[in-house]
Amino acid sequence: MHEGEGRNCNLEPTKDGPSSRLSRFILPNSNEIDVSTEKVILETGPSGRMHNGGAMAFGNDGYIYIATGDTGYNRSKNPAPKLNNLFGKILRITDDGAIPKDNPYYNTDNKKKCNDKNTNTPANGGDKECPEIFSVGFRNPFNLDMDPRKDKVRFLVGDVGRGTWEEISEGGHGFEKANYGWRGREGPCEQGEIASNKCGLVNKKRLTDPIHWYRNTDDDGGAITGGAFVPPGIWPDKWDGEFLYSDLRAGNLYHMKYTPSNFCRGTKCSDQTSAYTAVPLVENFPGTLLRLKFGPHRDTQALYLIEYNRGKIYRLSYTGNMNRRPKPVIQTFLSSNGNGLTVDFDGSESSDPDGDEVSFEWNFGEDESVSSRDKKASYTYSSKGQFIATLTVTDGKGSNAATSVEINVEENPKPLAVFPWSSGEACKDDDQSYDYCGSLEFCTNGDIHGYRLPGEEECTPRLSPVIRVTPGKMYKFTLRNTSPEGNPTNIHTHGLHISGSGDADDVTRIVHGGNRLDYMTGGAVGLLIVDDKVEDALPKWTSNELLLQILRVHGNVFGNGKHYEVFNVEAKKWYRLRMSTVDPLAVPLELRFTPGCKMHKVASDGIWHSRIPGDEGLSFEMTGASRGDFAIRCESPNSFVNILYGGEVAAILSIGIDALIPDNADLESWSPVRPPSLQDSSLSGGVRSMVVVTSENQFKVNVQRDSINDKKWDVDTPLTTIGFNEAHEWSISDTREHPFHMHLYHMQIVTSGGCGSHKEGEFYDTISGPPCTIRFKTADFGERMVMHCHVMMHSDVGSMAWVDVQPRREGQTMPINNVTSLEYVWKKDDVDDSDLTSSPVSTPLPSQIATASPSKLALLSPSQIPTSPPSKLRRPTLPQVENRAYVLLDEDDLISTDETVSSRPEGYYLYLNNTGQLELHQGSPGRSEAKLWTSPNPGAEGDYFAKIRSDGHFQIREGTVANKGDFVWKSLAKGPSDVAYFLEYDPVEQMLAVRQGLPEDRESSLILWYVALVEIT
């Protein structure tokens, strides 16, 4: 849970939003800028919070060239090609803000200048032509780099694409008035297109093609953010004037090498390729490259690279045959029993590029002396504080290099605080009584945002106390915003399957400074633990909890609000490590455990996996908005294990003596029985499409930086409206840059093989991976369902939407607020469901379900079934037969029923409901109710079949059919074979096929159910 950073995901208002400003300062000999000397020489009008100014350079004509983005304005405004604003342009001005007289739109009327933040917007620019404009048609020109070899002005512009193409365009003298095509074009094609017929040659009098482009893919990248020309004379001659560029996503530094044979452009080309190829100069860079710039280094120049995630600057220099400096590398391993901190330092990954032997010198930061000269060293810090440990590596020729690592020592780290709930009279209102109540304050102190309990005065940055709640209880949680008036915040929870509106999980609600919000079953930044309702129904080890909240801010990792958490555990005992990772950028990072323990990931985003123990390993990917439960058992007493997130230590496992009664080395296998909203609807685990999703419930979601499906956040207008208590299937776009989070319902992965780190068949509420197909069921609650990109800045600029969940069937009711909590039960794999503590169905049975005993259903013996061979998949035409119900193929090859068949009270039929269960219904089915269940591997181990339960349900069971007469649905065959039909598994198509006639192989387990003219005896 976390607060919404005071913006409630709304765009800045156009009238007073941010603007791009170019200022000039005087830099004195002190090399410190005097801010009082600022002179604003250009300022755009108010804009959105993205795609703004940032790239600028002086041309050799003495003028300043400035690149501005389209600021994220929507398609209706489309400022980039228009001349009445400064957005999406290359601008040219003098160093005091004047307009060069040879600018293409120069005019002598100063009133027509657009250097006015109050009037320069696409909405009110009118028909004037801004004289600052040099060229138009850019989306997000992140870099503008001058060619140092040319007498005339020539530059290259890297323009970040929307999601299909990245492009580099040429500009300068000769490109005055050029239009580079955005928003109609992206790269070499129409915007968003790659097909040849959408990539025709442009009219060069109207549009200017880029000189290099590449697809927005995993391998090539997706955001061109850095560029630089190699200055002549600093590298070998062949590099003079060559262009280098970097991509934020690719992790490589590229040389844009001229390769004319590579060029293919136009509708006759299957692939659009430029006259350049991207040759990696540095691969797998440790971080994300943002900017490139050549600058002074010794008696020459070097390339400086800004790394975004970790906030570092790297230098790349050419050494030729000179002795190169060694490369020092520090690896650390932390151990602590709560008194001080022992760090094992390892420099063995250090190397020398010339192959020389190297020597080591360690300084651990408590004094200036050399503490060790070994390759590996250990040091114990006994006092609290921050220390800088330094390793200096020297080669045989005397060249050396040093690197450092920051060591933070906690003094007697305190355990995670638990929120203090009150009860009794304090929790009674005039019209409502609550089981528990409590308050938490959100506070600010300058740049500090934090939480404190009522009565506390100091506002310090920290996590909220752990908020624990018990299913079935009613809570009143009050968040007070004590920050100054006008500084709003909100509540944002993950995993609460409760109403999306009213007094519950309405995450769009804001709390302004000085106000309060009474929030039902809510929380704040930190862990919200919904306790297991039926403790005896879960394995005992699940109650051995370790709670870890990992927070990553500005590249620093904290465990439970400290530099590291210390867990004291017993050896040979299973624990349940419950973990949450929070990063405002939601970057997917590796969660890694050093060797020493057996690990299983048993739950994702608060949902038990379909089979426990599940995945085993020491490395798992977690986004900055994920939760995970891990079963962990450490083997060796008196040892330590580190838990690292993104390579930084978040926690230490201090392993003590063996448990008094050691647990088994292997976890017992079991499966949870889930509530209706979490019923399996995937293709995993051997179940083929237990839920059929209608076409009206299939939807595509394209998550972008500033919008979802090209629509920005609108608190009053839903993205779409969907039906309550129905199964839905959504296709989600690539979310690696835009992690997709959905409130209210969890998403089950149904893409074959899964989506990146997200496993097929498992449930998540945040997805960050390649394009993915998910399913969910709108059970239990409805109304407002919020979704958004979990990069918080992207949500703030519009990448957020809500869906309206409403009943679509006459007479259907939809609970909004309900205090009855859902629950899990579990069973070992070999336990029959008669041993369950509760039914796997937690919702009332539909009224149409027959209450008669299944024994009334007559079952056929094999000898009663005629053996005429069936025809193959012939579309049937059935006669109207009074008082009979039958099934047929409709025009979409789906199983449906004849609506003209009259109902009969004692009739029964098989129905697969939207929660994934087969039900036995009484009467005649309607067309919309016809669904199918399929089995992928009939008769083999891992197969599934339907068993008639005593409550009239058909329950899906795993295994083989022991007694066909007891388990497999059959109906009476009273009619000629030419009007009889049966369902048979087709191993080629891997689906159930409708056959006309009667089964040829009546003993075959391929035949799942059989129907002719149905009559109940």
What is the reported pLDDT for 970? 32
Higher pLDDT, 222 or 892: 222
Question: Using CA atoms, how far apart are residues 679 and 673, in angstroms rounded to an integer?
Answer: 8
pLDDT class of 467 with cuts at 50, 70, 90: confident
- One DSSP character per residue, 918-964 reads EEEEES---GGG----B-SSTTSTT-EEEEE-TTSEEEEEES--S-H
Residue 31 and residue 425: Cα distance in Å, rounded? 65
If residue 632 lies in a helix (H) or strand (E), which one and from where to where? Answer: strand 625-634
Between vectors from CA 908 to CA 907 and to CA 910, what angle results, nearest 5°? Answer: 155
Task: Report the pLDDT value the prediction gives residue 930, as an integer from 0 to 100.
Answer: 32
Structure tokens given for 348:
């063995």
Residue % of the chain over a pLDDT of 90: 34
Say what the pLDDT of residue 534 is. 57
Residue 928 confidence class, pLDDT cut points 50, 70, 90 = very low
**Is the separation of the CB atoms in 983 and 1009 below 8 Å?**
yes
Pull the structure tokens for residue 419: 């929120």
What is the structure's pLDDT at 893?
32
pTM of the model as a whole: 0.62
- 453 Cβ partners below 8 Å, 6+ apart? 420, 439, 440, 441, 465
Q: What angle do CA 906, 908, 910 make, to 5 degrees?
A: 170
Write out pLDDT tens, residues 642-661: 999 988 999 999 999 888 88
Res 807: pLDDT: 86
> In this structure, what DSSP letter does residue 795 have?
H
Q: What is the pLDDT of residues 475-497, one digit of tens each?
A: 888 878 887 766 677 667 776 66
User: Does the pLDDT value for residue 994 go beyond 50?
Assistant: no
Higher per-residue pLDDT: 389 or 852: 389
Residue 891 has pLDDT above 80, yes or no: no
Model confidence band, residue 466 (pLDDT cutoffs 50, 70, 90): confident
Query: pLDDT averaged over the chain?
Result: 75
Q: How far apart are CA 198 and CA 208, in angstroms?
A: 16
> 445-470 burial, b if ≥16 CB within 10 A, otherwise e?
eeeebbbbeeeeeebeebbbbbbbbe
pLDDT digits (tens, 9 = 90+) for 243-274: 999 998 888 899 999 999 999 999 999 999 99
CA dihedral 875, 886, 957, 538 (to 10 degrees): 120
3-class secondary-structure state, position 198: helix
Continuous H helices in 260-299: none
pLDDT digits (tens, 9 = 90+) for 764-793: 999 998 999 999 988 877 778 889 998 877
Q: How far apart are CA 739 and CA 757, in angstroms?
A: 13
How are beta strands 895-897 and 887-889 bridged, if at all?
antiparallel
Dist CA 702 CA 114 (whole Å): 35
CA distance 524 to 942: 44
Region of 299 please: left (phi>0), alpha (psi -120 to 50) or beta: alpha
**CB-neighbour burial class of residue 807 (10 A; exposed 0-12, middle 13-18, buried 19+):** middle
Beta-bridge partners for 300: 297
What is the pLDDT at residue 514?
Answer: 62
Is residue 259 within 8 Å of residue 277, measured between CB atoms? yes
pLDDT at 718 over 80: yes
pLDDT digits (tens, 9 = 90+) for 173-191: 999 999 999 999 999 999 9
Residue-level pLDDT at 899: 34
> Are 513 and 484 within 8 A, CB to CB?
yes
Helix (H) or strand (E) holding 794: helix 792-796
* 349: confidence class by pLDDT, cuts 50, 70, 90: very high
Q: Identify the pLDDT of residue 736.
A: 87
The dihedral over CA atoms of 11, 12, 13, 14, expressed in degrees to the nearest 10, equals -100
**What integer pLDDT is reported at residue 792 of this predicted model?**
78
In this structure, the strands spanning 639-645 and 783-789 are unpaired
Q: How far apart, in whole angstroms, are the C-alpha atoms of residue 968 and residue 630?
A: 38
As a whole-number percent, the residues of the chain with pLDDT over 70 amount to 69
- Which pLDDT value is given to residue 927? 35
613 preceded by a cis bond (ω within 30 of 0): yes
Statement: residue 126 has pLDDT above 90: no
Confidence category of residue 850, pLDDT binned at 50, 70, 90:
very low
pLDDT of residue 75: 63
Average pLDDT, integer, range 783-806 = 85
Residue 875 predicted with pLDDT over 60: no
Q: Which residue has the tokens 């200048």?
A: 113
pLDDT of the residue at 501: 60
Report whether pLDDT(519) > 60: no
Question: Tokens for 417?
Answer: 């605080």
Please compute the mean of the pLDDT values over residues 692-701 and round it to a whole number: 88
Residue 51 structure tokens: 């795609």
H-helix or E-strand containing 569? strand 565-571
pLDDT, residue 118, reads 56
Contact criterion met (CB below 8 Å) for 672 and 825: yes
- Examine the pLDDT at 907 and tell me if it is beyond 80: no
Q: CB of 475 within 8 A of CB of 469?
A: yes
> With 70 as the cut, is the pLDDT of residue 55 above it?
yes
pLDDT of residue 733: 92
Across 673-677, 682-686, 708-712, 846-850, the highest mean pLDDT is recorded for 708-712
* Residue-by-residue DSSP string for 718-761: -S-EEETT-EEEEEE---SSS-EEESSS-EEE-STT-BTTBPTT
Between 486-490, 652-656, 870-874, 998-1002, the lowest mean confidence (pLDDT) is in 870-874
Number of helices (H), then strands (E), in the chain:
2, 67
Residue 338, pLDDT score: 65
For residue 378, give the nearest of 337, 409, 347 by alpha carbon.
347
Identity of the residue numbered 190: E
Q: Which of 341-350, 589-598, 802-811, 908-917 has the lowest average pLDDT?
A: 908-917
pLDDT digits (tens, 9 = 90+) for 71-119: 877 666 788 999 988 999 999 999 999 999 999 999 866 556 787 665 5
Residue 694 is encoded by which pair of tokens? 């209608």
